[in-house]
Chains A and B, each alone.
Chain A
Amino acid sequence: MIIQLTNANIYDPANNKVGVTDTLYIKDGVIADKQEVNGTVDKTYDLKGKVVMAGAIDIHSHIAGGKNNLARLMMPELHRATLFPAENGFRAGSSEPTMTSFSSGYRYAEMGFTAAFEPAMMPVNARQTHLELADTPIIDKGAYIMIGNEDYFMTLLAQKADRRTINDYVAWMMDATKALAVKVVNPGGVNAFKFNQRSLDLDEHNQHYQVTPRQVLMTLSRALLDLGVTHPLHVHGCNLGVAGSVRSTLDTIKGAEGLPLHITHIQFHAYGDEGEKGFSSGAAEIAEAVNSNPNITVDVGQIMFGQTVTESGDVMHQHAASKHAEPKKWVCVDIECQGGCGLVPFHYRDKDYVNALQWAIGLEIFLLVEDPWRVFLTTDHPNGAPFTCYPHLMRLLMDKSYRASFFKHLHPEAQRMSNLMSITREYTLEEIAIMTRAGPARILGLTSQGHLGAGAQADVVVYTPNDNKETMFAKPDYVFKDGTLVAQNGKVVASVMGRHCIARPKYDRGALKGLETWYDKYQGMHINNAMVKPEDFGDYEDIRFLEAHCQDRHDGRSTS
C-alpha cells in the first residue's frame, strides 16, 4: 500500500525540515524515501496549502491505571454529563475529565496525537494498567513505573546497597512491569507518610529509614544513566502544590549536578510564598534555572478553569489537599509497601486568587523557558485540565492578544502578582512541532516517532493553517496512524491498535536474590507473579510491544 501526500508544507524539526514544501510517501505504514517507492501509488492526497507534522506525543497524561479508575468511580456526575453512544463500530462511553479508555484513544487521535504516556504506574498495578492500555485504541502508549518509595528500595538505601544491586533492581522493575521510563513521586515522602510524617523536604530524613529525598533522586537518576535508559528520571518533586515549593524545586535542579532530570508538571512546584496572601509566582526563577541547566527538561502541567479530579501517587500531598476538595469527597490509599494514591476533586476558578495565579504561572513557564526541546506541553491530564484543551493551550501560547483576553478576567490581585502580560513571546509552528513531536520522541528514545524521515512510523497529521490556532489544532484535516487514515476533520473514521512502548535495560537476574526473598517474606506475592507477561492475559487483546532505544549498560555489571 503506497500513499502519496503531495505539496505538503512540512514541519519536521527532527529532520531540520521546517516550512518546506515536498511530497511525503507512505509505504505499508512507514514513511518511505522517494527512491524506495517503486510500486503504483494507491492513493494521493494533494495537500496544497496544508501544514503537515508528525503525530503529536503526550509525554505525561494519566490515561490508565487503578487511580484513574478510582477517580472515575468517585465522580459519576462528570461521566453522566459526557456520555456518547456507540457509532459506526466505535465503542460508547463517557468523556472528560477522566475519559474512558476508548474515549482517550479517539479524542487523542482526533487532535492529531498518536502517542500518550501514563506517567504513574504502580508496580503492583502494572498488569491491570497494560490491560487498560490494551483497550485504548489508535494511539501508541506506555507507562512510567513509579518507584522510589518502596520499603524494599528504602531498605536498600538505608543499608547502603551497592550501586549495581540498585541498578539491577531498577532494570528488573522496568522489565517486570513493561515500563518505558521511571518516575519518582515525592521521593521518599510517600513512604515517610506511612510513618505519619506530613512533609519531607529535599534534605529531610525519612524517620524510619534515615533516607532523604535527595538521596532517592540522585540514586535513581544515576541508575538510569548507568542502565542506558534514554528517558531521564521523571521527577514529581517534594512539595506538590505547596506555597514556597519553588525553593525545593530550584534546589533539586541545582543539586542534580549535571545529572539529567525531567521535572514534571513543574507548574505545581513553582510557587513562591510572597505577597499578602503568601502565594506567588516562582516561574521566572524556575525558567532561569531551566535555561541555564541543559541537563534539565520539564513539562508544565498547565491548569485550566473548570471542574476536574486530581489523581496522584503523592498521597502525602493529596491528603493535605483533601481539605480543598470540591465536591467534598476524597480517597487515599496506601498501596502494597510500594506507594499510594490520592484522589481529590477540584474546581479551578479564575476568580480565585490561587487558581488564577496557577494558570498564569503555567503560561509564564512555557513562555520563559527558551528552548522548546526542553519544555513539553502537558496539563497533567486530568489534574490541571483534560488533555482535550491542548488546542486552546496552543493558542494561548501562540497568540498574545488571546492570552490577554483571558488574563483580564483573572482575580485582580493575581493579575498584579503576574508578569504574564509583559511577555510578548508567541510560539511558532516550528516550536509547537518541537515541543509536541520531535522533543518528546527524542527524550523518550522513540526513534520511529515524532518525525517524518524515512523509516518513521507513518503517524502524520495534516492541518489547515488558521489564524485561530485553536481551530487549526482541534480539527486536523487528516490524521494517519501507521499509514491508516484514522481521523478526518476532527472525527475518528477508523480504529487501529497501537503499540505498548517499553524500554528494556539489562539486568542480572541472578543478582536479585534479595528481592526474591523480600517478595517471598513480605509482599504476599511471588516474584514471578509480580512480572507482567502477556501470555498470562488469556484471550484479552493482542499486545504489540515497541522497544525504545537503550544504550549499553555501563556500570560494569555483566548481564545476560
Chain B
Amino acid sequence: MTTAQEHHHVACPYCGFGCDDLSIGIRGGSVDVSQIECPKARAGFDVDDKPSEPRVDGKPVSYEQAIDVASTLLRKAQRPLISGLQADMSAVKRALALAERTGGVLDHSKGDGYSVQVRVIQEKGWFAATRSEVTNRSDVIVLLGTQAVNAAPRFFEQSAWPAQSFLPDNLKNRQIIFVGDEWSSNLGTSPQGKKVQHIKVAKKDMPLAVGALRLLWEGRTVPETTAKTLPLDQLRALTDTLKKSLYGVIVWETAAFIDAYGIDEAEVLVHALGQMTQQASDTHRIVGFPLGGDGNIVGAGQIALWQSGFPLRIAYQKDGRPYHDSRAYDGKKLLADGDVDALLWLTLFDAKDSPPACKKDTPSIVIGRKDLEMPYEPSVYIPVSIPGLDHAGVIVRLDNVVSLPLKALRTNDMPTACDILDLLTQKL
C-alpha cells in the first residue's frame, strides 16, 4: 500500500492513562508520528512494517522452526513462567490458557505495583475514581510524591488542566498541590497561569507526611518528633483545603513508592492512602486516583480474575487449579532464583520491556515486537505484529473499568501474537 492515510481518534496503549485522541498518518508502511505530542506514544507508534525474522539461539529460522523449538522447550518445562503479558486481551487470554495447561506461573512485567494495590484492596479497600471524574469534578488534586508525568505524560493537559469541564467552577477553582521533594517548574503552570503549589517534603520524609496527614484529618496531634521534620503548617493548610473541597482527589504512583521506599514501605503507604479515602468518605467526597496500569496490566488482571477468580501472580497446578499469592509468585524473583524452569515472555507494547535475567540453563522464549530491546539472546525469539497499529485489539485503562479499542492502522504480513500462541498451544 502506498496511499497515505490519516487516522484520528486513535487509542494509545503506551501508558495506562489511555488517551484515545491521537492523529496518526500512515504512508506506505511507515508511521508519521509528527502530530503526536506525547513522547511515550511517539516512541511506541514509531515502528516500520518491514518483516523481521524469528531466531533460535541467535540464528535466523522460519516461524515453523521457531514454534517447534519453543513448543519442545515448553513441553519439557515442569513449571514455566509466562510473563511480560504486555499484550491486548486476545493474546493475554491465550497466554493464560497456556499457563493453565502447562502448570505455569502467570505474572506481568509491571506486577510489583499491581500486587501492592491488590494486597491493599484485599486487606481494607479504598474509595477511588476514574479519569473523567478527576478531569471534570475535582476542585483539589493532591499529588503525593509523584509529578504524574512519568506515569502519564499527558496528565496535566488532559485531567488536571483540561480545556473545559461540565462543572466549570470546580475547574476554575481547582488547586493542584504537590507534596514531595523536587518539582519540575515547567509543569507548574496552567494555561490560565495558575501554579501548582509545592509543599516540600524530603523524599525520605514522605511516609511521615502521609502519617501526619491522616492524624491532621482526624484532628489529632502530630507527635513532636515527626512534626519537627515536616512543614506542618503547610500540611495543616492542605488538610483544611481538603476539608473545604467539593471533590478532592489524591493521586499517587505505587511503582514510584516502590522505587523510593521498597515494596513493604510502599504497601504501608498505599494502605494508608486507601484508608484515608475511606475515612474521608464518611463526611467528604475525597477519592484516590492511583497512576500506573502500563502495558495493559489492568486488562491482563481482569481476564485472570474472570477466568480464575484471582488477580495476577497465579501459579497453576498441574491439574489447572489456580493458586494465587501476590508475594510468592513474583515472576522476576522466581526466575532469578531458578524456581521456574522456562520463560515465555510476551510483550507487544513497550519496546523497552525486555525479558528479565534468567539463570544460564533456563530456556527463554520471547514473543515480542520486532524492535524489542534484548539484553541477552533468548533461546527462541518470535517477532510479531503490534496491536493498535497492525491489528485490532482491546486494552483496559489504569482505572479498571474503561476499555479501549485498538485499531488496525495498516496491514502487516507478520503473524500476530495470537497466531503464534495458537500454533504453540496446538503443538503441546
Contacts and interface: CB of A to CB of B under 8 A. Distances in A.
Question: 10 shortest A-B CB distances, which residue pairs?
Answer: A86-B320, A92-B320, A94-B309, A536-B405, A79-B309, A85-B319, A538-B393, A526-B9, A539-B418, A334-B129
Contacts of A538: 88-90, 387, 391-394, 406, 416, 418
Contacts of A528: 9
B370 interface: no
Contact of B20 (A195, A341, A526): A526
B21 to A, nearest CB: 7
Contacts of B153: none
Nearest to A523: B132
B163 to A, nearest CB: 8
Interface in B90-142: 90, 93, 97, 100-101, 118, 121-133, 135-137
Interface in B130-171: 130-133, 135-137, 158-159, 163-166
Nearest to A524: B132
Contacts of B309: 72, 76, 79, 82, 93-95, 98-100, 103
Contacts of A540: 89-90, 93, 394
A74 B90 contact: no
Contacts of A195: 246, 285
Contacts of A333: 127-130, 400-401
A518 B278 CA distance: 31
A66 interface: yes
Contact of A100 (B11, B137, B307, B323): B307
A536 B124 CA distance: 36
Interface in B371-423: 387, 391-394, 396, 400-407, 416, 418
B307 A102 contact: yes
B284 interface: yes
A70 interface: yes
Contacts of B418: 538-539
Contacts of A388: none
B91 to A, nearest CB: 8
Interface string A98-135: 11111100000000000000000010110110011001
A128 B401 contact: yes
A122 B322 contact: no
Interface stretch (B36-44, B181-189, B197-205, B310-318): B310-318
A69 B392 contact: no
B235 interface: no
A521 B164 contact: yes
A135 B306 contact: yes
Interface of A: 64, 66, 68-70, 72-76, 79-80, 82-87, 91-95, 98-103, 122, 124-125, 127-128, 131-132, 135, 151, 155, 194-196, 319, 322, 328-337, 341, 343, 518, 521-526, 528-529, 533, 535-540
16 contacts: A69-B302, A69-B306, A72-B306, A73-B311, A79-B309, A79-B324, A80-B324, A86-B100, A92-B320, A101-B306, A122-B401, A124-B403, A329-B124, A336-B133, A522-B165, A524-B20
A102 B12 CA distance: 31
Which residue, A101, A125, A334, has most C-beta atoms of chain B within 10 A? A334
Contacts of A124: 130, 401-403
Nearest to A103: B309
Given A127-B394, A331-B126, A68 B306 contact: yes
Which residue, A151, A522, A525, has most C-beta atoms of chain B within 10 A? A525
Contact of A524 (B131, B246, B400): B131
B237 interface: no
Given A100-B306, A536-B392, A538-B89, 17 more contacts: A69-B306, A69-B400, A82-B309, A86-B100, A91-B97, A94-B309, A124-B402, A131-B89, A132-B306, A135-B93, A335-B129, A336-B401, A524-B20, A524-B158, A537-B393, A538-B391, A539-B418
B227 interface: no
B287 interface: yes
A91 B247 CA distance: 44
B427 interface: no
B281 interface: yes
A538 to B, nearest CB: 4
Contact of B394 (A87, A131, A332, A526): A131
A135 B307 contact: yes
A336 B307 CA distance: 26
A82 B405 CA distance: 34
A336 B310 contact: no
B133 A334 contact: yes
A151 B20 CA distance: 21
Contacts of A343: 125
Given A331-B128, A333-B129, A521-B164, A539 B307 contact: no
Contacts of A131: 89, 303, 394, 403
A335 B130 contact: yes
A194 B394 contact: no
A187 B354 CA distance: 49
A535 B392 contact: yes
B310 A94 contact: yes
A523 to B, nearest CB: 5
B172 interface: no
A92 B322 contact: yes
Given A66-B400, A85-B320, A331 B394 contact: no
